Amino acid sequence: MITLVRAAVCAALFLFQGVQFAAAQDVALTSRDGKIELSGTLLGFDGTFYRVETEYGELTIDGSGVDCAGPGCPNLENFVAELWLSGSATMGKILMPALIDAFAARNGYSATRQDEDENSFTFVLVDQKTNKTVARFMFRASNTDEGFADLLADEADIVMSLREMRPDERQRAREAGLGDMTGPNRSRVLALDAVVPVVSASNPVRGISPLMLARVFAGQITNWNVLGGPDAPIDMHLPDDSSGLAQAITDQVLRPAGLDLAETVTRHAFPADLAEAVAKDPFAIGITSYAEQRDMSVLTLTGTCGFALDVSRRAIKTEDYPLTAPMFLYFPARRLPQTAREFLSFTRSPTAQIVIRRAGFVDQTPEEIPIEDQGNRFTNAITVAGADVTLEELQRMTATLKPMARLSTSFRFEAGSIRLDAQSRSNVQQLARALEIGQYDARRLLFVGFSDGDGAGRANREIALRRAEAVRRAVIKAAVTANLDRVTLDVDAFGEAMPMACDDSAWGRQANRRVEVWVR
């Protein structure tokens, strides 16, 4: 018979994260005064909190106030933090090991990798001073779909994903008791990448519009002569359809055009295989990630208006290149072990950003871009000048921005929505943290709104201004501990005055709708 004092138990309940996926065993937790006893099946322990399945449901108990008895009780003196990570092989096999090695070196740990099979391995962290094991990071590195399946089955603490969680997955997460996975602190952008069309270096085609790219992979364009190339059939190559990258390609390339993927596409389980197939075939085209472009030629994204967008590290960071692919970490609302929390905090540090960049991915360190390094942006502004974008407005924009530098931190919106996209939501938190540590004290930040060219110029400028104000409010709300008296946060908007891409496609219009941050 279990005796419970309601108030005492409620006081003991805290959020918990950090499931240890060993065999569940029975425990009995008794308060130090002996008045409260709670028994059930131990689901996890993070070094401080017990997570127990009881007849009252899943409860979380502060270990400092109870004694544990039973076969499932952990060793409190030699507790080893355990963390299960599942999902993208690209993240699990390349990026995360590099970050773990750097984290271990910074904290005086040794990190030893223990391989179990092709996709499963464990990093064991040992304190070099005491020779005690402090943590085990256990990986299942296969694909994004498997990662979310493991999370929903309560067999993973963190999902490594190359795409955003989809609506059906979010719904299943709610049904599984994981809460709202779109909520704050439920996901994090770890690094940045992009989706890029690639061809053999011997292929004469050097550019393609996003719409033509979609039509190629939908099977509507089958010969290179339509794209200005030779009279030869097009061979298509994509990553395996269970990978997050392949799903991001579908979401970003085909879905905006309302097209479905052709059945004649050749799939590849590994990026290296795709690269090899495309590189040796002059009539092949593939879509891969920026980090995996290898010896292939990346096609420039073009448009009918003459604007062109080349992929680069900076263009990905600013989202000026429209086919960006953030790399996500997802986790349920449970408390992680301390070592795991410290590792996640480390992934945001300047040291971690260097590691991310060295691993071939795009980091999130804000950069200040001088106005003379703005490429063709001001040329584009002159090109579209007319009735809606007057000479006076261009002069005002130039006078406003000339003394300033553009931050690589930009904000864009989901298609057909006023909601910031995933990378931009991460940028809100990043900029807020910078304000909290005083990085921009005694400086002026200007949130500048831009729009696409659909509609009247005056209305577009007003919409862009409201978006800039909304981003400013979001950053201020997130910067809880910042002293905003030490920094000036202003807003302005220039509507359609500085387009990044052509307005003749959904991709171009989405690239043009943005809020930039300029600093002085």
For 60-124, the DSSP string reads EEEGGGEEEESTT---STT--EEEEEEEEHHIIIIIHHHHHHHHHHHHTEEEEEEE-SSSEEEEE
Q: Give SS3 for 263.
A: coil
pLDDT, tens digit (0-9, with 9 covering 90-100), for 317-328: 998 898 988 999
pLDDT value for 447: 97
What count of residues does the chain have? 520
Q: Say what the pLDDT of residue 298 is.
A: 96
**What pLDDT is stored for residue 23 in this prediction?**
45
The sign of the dihedral angle between the CA atoms of 56, 59, 62, 66 is: positive
Q: What percent of the chain has pLDDT over 90?
A: 53
pLDDT at 1: 34
Task: Supply the pLDDT for residue 229.
Answer: 94
Judged by average pLDDT, the poorest of 214-218, 255-259, 267-271, 505-509 is: 505-509
From residue 356, give the alpha-carbon distance in Å to each of 96, 104, 346, 350, 480: 9, 15, 12, 10, 28
**Residue 444 dihedral angles phi and psi, to the nearest 5°:** -115, 125
Q: Examine the pLDDT at 75 and tell me if it is beyond 80.
A: no
pLDDT of residue 10 exceeding 50, the answer is no
Q: What is the largest CA-CA distance in the chain?
A: 85
Domains and CATH numbers, the chain: 6-69 (2.30.30), 81-192+328-344 (3.40.190.10), 196-318 (3.40.190.10), 366-519 (3.30.1330.60)
Q: In this predicted model, what pLDDT tens digit does every residue of 50-73 receive, in sequence order?
A: 888 888 788 888 887 888 888 888
pLDDT at residue 262 is higher than 90: yes
Residue 209 has pLDDT above 80, yes or no: yes
Using alpha carbons, list the distances in angstroms from residue 177 to 153, 173, 332. 11, 6, 9
Reported as a pLDDT band with limits 50, 70 and 90, residue 375 is low
The more confident residue out of 124 and 22 is: 124
Confidence of residue 3 (pLDDT cuts 50, 70, 90): very low
For the cut 50, the answer to whether the pLDDT of residue 28 exceeds it is: yes
Of the ranges 183-187, 337-341, 401-405, which is most confident? 401-405
Count other C-beta atoms under 10 Å from residue 129's C-beta: 8
* Amino acid 6: pLDDT: 36
Q: For residue 83, what are the β-bridge partners?
A: 137
pLDDT at 444 over 90: yes
CA–CA separation, 10 vs 302, rounded Å? 60
Where residue 214 falls among pLDDT bands split at 50, 70, 90? Answer: very high
**Residues 396-399: contacts with CB within 8 Å, 24+ apart?**
396/494, 397/494, 397/497, 397/498
Buried b (16+ CB within 10 A) or exposed e, 2-36: eeeeeeebeebeeebbbbbeeeeeebbbbbeeeeb
Higher per-residue pLDDT: 104 or 373: 104
pLDDT top residue among 227 and 335: 227
Instruction: Give residue 24's pLDDT.
Output: 54
Given a cut of 50, is residue 397 above it in pLDDT? yes
Token code pair at residue 181: 């996975």
Q: What are phi and psi of 234, to 5 degrees?
A: -95, 125
20 pLDDT more than 70: no
Q: Is the pLDDT of residue 403 over 90?
A: yes
Q: What is the pLDDT of residue 188?
A: 87
Which residues are registered as beta bridge partners of 495? 450
The predicted pLDDT at position 115 comes to 94
The predicted model gives 87-104 an average pLDDT of: 94
C-alpha 475/C-alpha 516 separation (Å) is 13
- Computed over every residue of the chain, the mean pLDDT equals 87
15 pLDDT higher than 70? no
How confident is the model at residue 243, as a pLDDT? 86
Residue 227 has pLDDT above 90, yes or no: yes
Q: 113 with 125: CB under 8 angstroms?
A: no
Residue 52 three-state SS: strand
